[in-house]
Structures are given as C-alpha cells and as structure tokens.
C-alpha cells in the first residue's frame, strides 16, 4: 500500500500556537501523537510519500524520528526540510529524495510537488469512462487563505468548457489534492482515501 502526507513539521513547536494552531502543549507531545497515528496505519512494507516539510528538527532529532517511523519513505523536498543540508542526517532512510516526481498509482498518474501546480502534466487526461487519470498532490499551503484560493481556482477551471478533438464541449478537469496532515488527522492516507475526503468535502459545501 502507498500513502501520502504533507507538512507534518515534526519538532516545529510554533505551529501549536500560530498558523496551524494545532493545540498540542509542546513539540514533544505533538511528535509523539503524530508518530503514534503514523505507525498505527503504516506497516513495514508500505510506502509513504512525504510531500515536503517533514521535520524542523536538528540532524540528531530527525535521525531519531526516521528510526521510529514505519514504512518505506520517499521525500518530496519542502522549503522547511532544512535538515537535508546537514550531512549527519541519515538520508539512506529514504528510497529517494526529489523536488518533483511523477508516479503511477493503480493506473493513475500522480504528480508530486511540495508546491501546488495549477497546470500540471496530464491534467486533461480522462479514462474511457470519464474518470480522472491524473492527480496533482501538493502541500506547502496548509489550511490557509492560499488553500482557499486554490479551491476557488479549481471551481473556476471545472466550470470552464473546452472543445475536445471530437468537437464535444466538456469541462476542464482539475484534480489537485492538498495532502495537509491535519486534514487526515495526522495519518498518512492512500490516494483513494484522499479522493474520498475531497469528494465528501465538496458534497458538504453550502449551496
């Protein structure tokens, strides 16, 4: 099984009181809770793609964290992953570290970048039944005004019609998923779980 998660910010105590307002009493309490949630879900052979900003900790702290997290780890580099500049960090714990990647997940393309990409590779591709064949997974914006703007952009894009090669008019697909850890209750989720979350969120929007 493959899971995705973004912006865990282990050791970043300020997020308990500012920006995210996570509400933990300390970074230690936050770290322990997130590790517990992670390891209850992820098994040893599972894959976890971290879409940036894993840890705000030192090399020693981050190495200790990496030893505790279950699964095969893949890292899309985020702007706050400053631990990567320290040669003492055990980067061998990651299968790979990249700023951008494209993967296949159950016959669907997944475009991965810490920063949201509005016009992503494969955006227009649909299956024969009209289902999306490509998803853009990102982080960085947490649950801020920037995320609200991205949601507005998606609505506008989906309401915009194009003419396909057969001459039929159809809406432009736009399937961008913010894998922000607080949305999933600090638990890595599969692509299907993230899709279901956003479908439910769309259904519950006020008319």
- Better pLDDT: 33 or 205: 33
The pLDDT assigned to 164 comes to 81
The pLDDT assigned to 137 comes to 98
Across residues 87-100, what is the average pLDDT?
96
Q: Where are the alpha helices (DSSP H) in the chain?
A: 27-41, 59-68, 145-158, 191-203
Asked whether the predicted pLDDT for residue 207 surpasses 70, the reply is no
Q: Mean pLDDT lowest for which of 25-34, 90-99, 109-118, 162-171?
A: 162-171
Q: Tokens for 33?
A: 């809770």
* pLDDT tens profile 75-86: 999 999 999 999
DSSP H/E element including 28: helix 27-41
The pLDDT assigned to 79 comes to 96
DSSP-derived 3-state class of residue 168: coil
The pLDDT assigned to 44 comes to 93
Where do the domains of the chain lie, and which CATH numbers do they carry? Answer: 2-203 (3.60.21.10)
Asked whether the predicted pLDDT for residue 91 surpasses 90, the reply is yes
């Amino acid at each position: 099984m493959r899971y995705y998660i973004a912006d865990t910010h282990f050791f970043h105590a300020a997020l308990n009181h500012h920006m995210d307002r996570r509400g933990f009493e300390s970074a230690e309490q936050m770290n322990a809770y997130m590790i517990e949630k992670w390891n209850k879900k992820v098994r040893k052979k599972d894959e976890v793609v971290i879409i940036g900003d894993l840890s705000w900790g030192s090399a020693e702290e981050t190495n200790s964290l990496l030893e505790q997290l279950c699964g095969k780890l893949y890292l899309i580099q985020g702007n706050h992953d400053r631990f990567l500049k320290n040669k003492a960090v055990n980067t061998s714990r990651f299968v790979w570290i990249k700023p951008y990647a494209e993967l296949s997940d159950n016959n669907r393309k997944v475009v991965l970048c810490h920063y949201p990409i509005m016009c992503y590779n494969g955006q227009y591709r649909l299956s024969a039944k009209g289902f999306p064949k490509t998803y853009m997974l990102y982080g960085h914006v947490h649950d801020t005004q920037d995320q609200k703007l991205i949601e507005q952009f998606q609505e506008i894009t989906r309401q915009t019609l194009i003419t396909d090669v057969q001459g039929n008019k159809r809406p432009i697909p736009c399937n961008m998923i913010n894998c922000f850890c607080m949305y999933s209750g600090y638990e890595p989720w599969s692509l299907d779980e993230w899709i279901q979350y956003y479908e439910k969120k769309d259904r519950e929007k006020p008319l």
